[in-house]
Amino acid sequence: MTNNTDQNQKSFKNYGAYTMAEGILRANMDALRAVMMVSDPGMTKTATVRSIAQEIGYDLVTIIGSRMQPEDVSGFPTRGEIVIEDLHLGTKEIDSFVSSINPHTIKKERRGDQDVRVIPVTEYAPQSWQVFIQERRKVILFFDEFSNTSPATRASLLSLVQDRQFPNGDFFPDEVIIVGAMNPTESAADGYEMDMATANRFAWLRWIPDNFKWLEGMKTAWGRVAEDSNEGKWRSFIVRFLEENPGLIHKMPDINETSTDGAKAVYEKDLTDPSTRTAAINAWPSYRTWDELARVLDMIDADKDRANFVIDGLTESNVGLEGSVKFREFLTRNGALNVVEIIKNPKSLSDAEWRRLSQNDFQTILNAAVNPEIINKDLYINSIEIFNTLIRIERESFGASQLQAFLGMQNSFKGLTKKEKEFFKKETMKIAAAFSNLTAERQIRMAK
């Protein structure tokens, strides 16, 4: 007897080559098991499904659950007809069928050379996405924002998901894959609790992205951007930053850090204004927002303007306070702001250029200007010039936290001549008085 075991052995894929989450996702997809991906917003669910579709040569049909009504599944009613003479029935069956119909609903018409009897009926026109699936066959049907799909709409999907059958009775092509994506109800905007009937028709997967794979794709926007382009350079900066700070790839807002007191203590950011606080709470780092930030930063020259104050505003508005502050520190360390040259020659920047610096830039420069490891008695005159510049351009509030350290530095210098001591004392007293006066004047102006 011939042993056919080897001939009939199934070829298995190596799902272990992926992260656990992606391996589970792909195995369910290959088995044509409808699978629901669940994670916080901005965690690459949509991007992952799109990437897999491209990889396997499938079209992607995305249905946004929050925009769907039951009619978007069942189809809208249209007028149709049944021509009795076209029924594939015998004479007796046709007579029996006609006798069961109200005779007033049967219309007699002449079509071509034949008299026919017509019964008007209501039919439901299939949606365009349903026709597309039947035509293309190799399709991933992706239900996005499923947590925002109304219960009535979900009910209309039950047979579609379980039986792989359209409302008109046609079955899905064998190749069709069904995937859903949703946020947990508590983090979904106007989300609905999942009913048991719908839940039981899906495999459920807690989605955790593959950071290494995402960072690699992020460098070129998954093949859409050249690495040596301006956007590609910004993406390189972001990827390098996130490799050093993986905890900031995706971090939901911390209520303690975005409170008025917390933001003041951690980031020296005043959130007493409701609009400012709302913006700070709602901008936070995620896979999605870092990708969007790279696209927006393409408006800024990555080779020349990395110290531009606009960058801090763009970063903060996309990935929040913590991401903005730490990304600025990263850019500074990587040559975005030449602090050493500025300390050596503060006048190398015009007043207009000083004004364009962000508060984070000023903090970096001022921290260096009061650092005893950098500033000696010869460079102290440059620190004086920097503080005078703050006064001149009305940015003295940026240096308030470093003022005391600046004023006290002269006491640590050794070998000062009497003339140097008198000069330093005179200049620092003028600066201290100016800081005090300007701050008071501004408070009066604001009060008015």
pLDDT tens, 377-431?
A: 899 999 999 999 999 998 888 888 889 999 999 888 888 899 999 999 999 999 9
Q: Are strands 203-206 and 35-38 parallel, antiparallel or unpaired?
A: parallel
Task: Quickly list DSSP for 257-283.
Answer: TTSHHHHHHHH-----SHHHHHHHHH-
Backbone angles phi, psi at 195, to 5 degrees: -75, 155
Contact 76, 125 (CB under 8 A): yes
Cα torsion 16, 18, 20, 21: sign = negative
Total number of residues shown for the chain = 448
Q: How remote is the C-alpha of 86 from its chain's centroid?
A: 55
**pLDDT value, residue 1:** 43
CB atoms within 10 A of CB 44: 25
Q: How far is 182 from 146, CA to CA, in rounded Å?
A: 5
- Provide the token pair at 7: 């001939």
User: Pick the residue with more confidence: 218 or 438?
Assistant: 218
Q: How far is 416 from 422, CA to CA, in rounded Å?
A: 10
- Degrees to nearest 5, angle at CA 63 with 61 and 64: 145
Backbone angles phi, psi at 171, to 5 degrees: -90, 155
- Degrees to nearest 5, angle at CA 101 with 99 and 102: 110
User: Pick the residue with more confidence: 26 or 357?
Assistant: 26
Cα torsion 376, 377, 379, 384: sign = positive
The most confident of 88-92, 98-102, 366-370, by mean pLDDT: 366-370
Alpha helices, DSSP H only, in 41-191?
Answer: 45-56, 71-74, 91-99, 128-136, 151-156, 158-163
CB atoms within 10 A of CB 414: 6
Which is nearest to 205 in space by CA: 48, 61, 56, 54? 48
> Could you tell me the CA-to-CA distances from 388 to 3, 329, 341, 355, 426 in Å, in that order?
92, 24, 18, 13, 13
* Residue pLDDT, tens place only, 4-55: 444 455 567 889 889 999 999 999 999 999 999 999 988 999 989 998 999 9
Overall average pLDDT of the 265-288 stretch: 77
User: For residue 255, what pLDDT band results from cuts at 50, 70 and 90?
Assistant: low
Q: How far is 371 from 373, CA to CA, in rounded Å?
A: 5
149 contacts: CB under 8 Å, gap ≥ 6: 65, 66, 68, 143, 157, 192
Residue type, 385: E
Q: How far is 32 from 28, CA to CA, in rounded Å?
A: 6
User: Pick the residue with more confidence: 232 or 97?
Assistant: 232
Q: What is the greatest pairwise CA distance in the chain? A: 126
**pLDDT value, residue 263:** 53
Contact 200, 162 (CB under 8 A): no
> Which neighbouring-strand residues pair with 80?
121
Q: How remote is the C-alpha of 397 from its chain's centroid?
A: 34
